[in-house]
Amino acid sequence: MKYQSIKILMATLLVFLIIIIVHTLFQKPWPAQKAKALLPLPDSAIVHMSQAVKIPTISPEDTLHIDTLHFGQFNQFLTNAYPLIHQQLKQTIVNGYSYIYQWDGTDITLAPIILMGHYDIVPVEKASNNMWHHPPFSGAVADNAIWGRGSVDDKSGVVSILETVEQLLKEGYHPKRTVLLCFGHNEESTGTGAIAIVDTLQKRGVRADLVIDEGGEISTEKMKNIPRPIAFIGVAEKGYATFQLKVSIPGGHSSKPARETAIDVLSRALYQLRSTQMSATITAPVATFLNRAGAASTNFLNKVLLTNQWIFSWADKRILSANPESNAMIRTTIVPTILESGVRENVIPTVATAIVNSRILTGETTQQVIQFMKNTIRDERVEITVTGDFNTEPSAATDMHGPAFLAVQQAITDVVDNVIPVPFIMIGATDSRSYRKISNGVVNFSALKDSKGYHGLNERLPIADYKRCYNFYRTIIANNAGLFRE
């Protein structure tokens, strides 16, 4: 009887294994397609990008203390560099330094498309200035790239859009569908510029079919054993919440410390938070991404694991958890970023505080994060409160089978050879979160390839990437706005 049971078990396992192998073998890679020939950049494009990078439009944390000199210089740069846009498009300045350019279409029954970005940048650490290959605001053109802070994030997007529209105007094109160009001035801090733009568009009754902002990009480096480029198309954005953890315990002289101090309690709480992660969840966009990528893997085991999530999701979660970026795609993250306590070396402080930042996964909430922290810390002496100027719940997801996603997917296929387009969840916050009020078709994508240096050292925009971005936006406008010449 026992022997018979073993035979049945072995037969069942064999059948199960055969099913998995057959299912894996039937997972065909995403169709490979040759891209169209890319048009050259306009003659002035490289000079304009260099000029834009030279202007240090650093986003202030305090919106009341904006650098009016440099933001004013950028306004003058726009006027000088893009005369046809300023002559033929309707311009609206919002919240002082954010811009809307409206390129009217001939068919007012068609909902507009919005191409957006931000031109503010993060500052450069003074201590790192000498570590740059070229000064961070030089706009140097060297080694087939344009160097400087903001060349990738996000003047690459803003200037590429402007170069595209200026060139189309020069060639005498008009759109059937209205095209809106929207550029925020403080995405790196509060995002109030984008909020003001959306409020303005709402008052005009605008409801867009498609919104494209920065976010995903093309990679040949992130997925091992996949010999084709992968285009990561953002369809949703994680939530953003900042918390203060505060412990208050009477202090005193450092010569006679109590068994526990405020710093002790807070340190233990932070250690517990960092030692315990919130549960992993493979959301629908990530599941699609894994399946499309896995089907193209040259490693059969990886292909088995990624294309059979119905049985191997536990293994997929472990694989994704091993890398900080992919880990952030499958769970809410919690990390301390600021610690404050103490006034002198011989005084035990009464109060210790920590600022903790969380990026909240789609389907979860700020309240769930608070409850998780309480359950993990298990110490009522640690007070947890929401703080900060900006907190938001996770966004809704753009339909992966809807027209907005498919439009971007097609444009990518047109400009990148043999690309595999995949949806994913944005782990950072962008201005596009505000635009979901006026569109169900918000998509995050830049036609950059494994960009380097954003928010760090030696940020630079390869000219090949610049050319691809220009062709991507031109394709989007041609395919979705219906260009024609009179």
| Residues labelled catalytic | 120, 187
Cα angle value 462/464/465 (rounded, 5°): 70
Distance CA 388, CA 357 (A): 10
Amino acid at the residue 323:
N
**Half-sphere exposure of residue 2: CA atoms within 13 angstroms, side-chain side:** 0
- What are the residue ranges of helices labelled H in 228-379? 262-275, 284-295, 300-307, 309-321, 324-328, 366-377
Distance CA 381, CA 295 (A): 50
Residue 325 contacts by C-beta under 8 Å, 6 or more apart in sequence?
222, 427
Phi-psi label, residue 482: left if phi above 0, alpha if psi -120 to 50, beta otherwise: left
Distance CA 385, CA 370 (A): 8
Burial 182-203 (b: 16+ CB within 10 A, else e): bbbbbbbbbbbbbbbbbebbee
Residue 408 near residue 443, CB atoms below 8 Å: yes
Helix 155-170 vs helix 68-81: angle between axes, to the nearest 10 degrees?
30
Residue 387: φ, ψ to 5°: -140, 180
Distance CA 291, CA 318 (A): 16
Residue 197 near residue 186, CB atoms below 8 Å: no
How far, CA to CA in Å, does 63 sit from each of 84, 240, 407?
Answer: 31, 20, 36
Tell me which residue of 484, 481, 456, 452 sits closest to 127, measured CA to CA: 456
**Half-sphere exposure of residue 313: CA atoms within 13 angstroms, side-chain side:** 12
First to last CA, the chain: 86
Residue 176 near residue 107, CB atoms below 8 Å: yes
DSSP state of 126: G
Q: 405: part of which helix (H) or strand (E)?
A: helix 403-415
Note the Cα 169 to chain centre separation in Å: 30
Residue 427: φ, ψ to 5°: -90, -15
